[in-house]
Chains A and B, each alone.
Chain A
Amino acid sequence: MTPELLTQLLADVEAKRTVVLCTDLQSGEARLVHPYAPEAGLDPALLQACREAAAVDRSQKWERPAGALFLRVFHPPVRLVIVGAVHIAQSLGRMAQLAGYDVVVVDPRRAFATEQRFLGIPLSNEWPDEALRRLGVDRRTAVVTMTHDPKIDDPALAAALRSDAFYVGALGSKKTQEARRERLRGQGFSEVEVGRICGPVGLPIGAVSPGEMAISILSQLVEKLRKPAGSRPA
């Protein structure tokens, strides 16, 4: 790897861009491929291989007639934006951190989003759409709304639906979800877009306590991340 390549790679990591380092296993020659913002004139087969490696988040050898390449995937960390500094968010935030995710809890209601209640979890008192704009929601970002207040949840969901977020979840009963979908349709979101929202949120494991709810949500998030095609429709 040349110093120039390393500099570019570090810049990509810093900018939270997914990048694949492709190294020729015979010559040692290396190049970078951005699977989601591909360079012009890139070999389509190589791009496809890089996209597949990125999708499964696994570095791997890629055999081709001209010799094997090793595809090393550099992903930005998975991020979870929790909107609503509620009880379940306390459990979900800690569990997601244990899973290795970058977590931020967003709630303009300062009385809820306090350090004492969310020890060690980054907090933001911005309105969620402002926070999501600042954070830059990408395909490695999950957004879950939990305030039960449409004034706060709806702008977050609208921003999430306009992004590449891999997971959009919304706490609330079936009845709440239907009213919410109706409001979002009223804002011009299509049936398919609104259908991206997982709600009632979480896998149906019969969760009752806040901790169990967190497990159910986190499980669904992992499923969307790791088995996007196999996921049940919401």
Chain B
Amino acid sequence: MSAEDIYHEALVRLSRQATGAGHLEAPGGSAAVDNPLCGDRVTMEVRLEGGRIAALAHQVRGCLLCQAAASMLGRLGPGSTGGEIALARAGLVAMLEGGPAPTGRFAELSVFEPVRAVKSRRRCAVLPFEALGEAVARAGR
């Protein structure tokens, strides 16, 4: 599996869209998570309304996979609950470890399927989900 196979067109497009990149004016919670092995770092800011994500913004210092996952959350995150984000993350992790691609709202996580073959890169895609989960938890406290 080469870099070209992981970084396929849909992922590149997703990362370039960078949906949700930036800052929120008054975040209810924020969290930064990094990967000590590759240096990727994601900061997520969220505002909750009625237990659901009303708005989110992220700052990513990291590879294309990390950017793509954050961008996907920028689009699909708003409207979700913390539980749904945790479920999506679990689905992503399961897929990367050999399971089937998630179905439902986060079905398009299947774009990360090629990453399954490169163990050292799996966490890059998961990192934004970890950060968002923690940010939502903090905003809910």
User: Do A and B make up one complex?
Assistant: yes
Interface residues of A (CB under 8 A from B): 107-111, 125, 127, 149, 151-152
Q: Are A127 and B38 in contact (CB under 8 A)?
A: no
Least distance between A19 CB and chain B CB atoms (Å): 37
Tell yes or no: B34 within 8 A of A by CB. yes
Q: Are A151 and B63 in contact (CB under 8 A)?
A: yes
Q: Are A127 and B36 in contact (CB under 8 A)?
A: no
- Of B36, B40, B41, B63, which one neighbours A111 at CB under 8 angstroms? B36
Tell yes or no: B78 within 8 A of A by CB. no
Q: How distant is the Cα of A109 from the Cα of B62 in the complex, in angstroms?
A: 11
Tell yes or no: B22 within 8 A of A by CB. no
Tell yes or no: B51 within 8 A of A by CB. no
Q: How distant is the Cα of A159 from the Cα of B39 in the complex, in angstroms?
A: 18
Q: Are B63 and A110 in contact (CB under 8 A)?
A: no
Measured between beta carbons, the chain B residues less than 8 angstroms from A149 are 38-39
Inter-chain contact total with CB atoms closer than 8 Å? 26
Q: How distant is the Cα of A108 from the Cα of B63 in the complex, in angstroms?
A: 13
Measured between beta carbons, the chain A residues less than 8 angstroms from B37 are 109, 111
Chain B interface size range: 10 to 19
Least distance between B18 CB and chain A CB atoms (Å): 16
Least distance between B84 CB and chain A CB atoms (Å): 30
Q: Are A109 and B36 in contact (CB under 8 A)?
A: yes
Tell yes or no: B8 within 8 A of A by CB. no
Least distance between B4 CB and chain A CB atoms (Å): 15
- Of A107, A110, A127, which one neighbours B61 at CB under 8 angstroms? A127
Least distance between B133 CB and chain A CB atoms (Å): 20
- Of B34, B36, B39, which one neighbours A151 at CB under 8 angstroms? B39
Known: A127-B61, A151-B62, A151-B63. A109 touches B41 (CB 8 A): no
Measured between beta carbons, the chain B residues less than 8 angstroms from A125 are 34
Instruction: Find the A residue at minimum CB distance from B37.
Output: A111
Q: Pull 13 A–B residue pairs with CB atoms less than 8 Å apart, ordered by A.
A: A107-B39, A108-B39, A108-B40, A108-B61, A109-B35, A109-B36, A109-B39, A110-B36, A110-B39, A111-B37, A127-B41, A127-B61, A149-B38
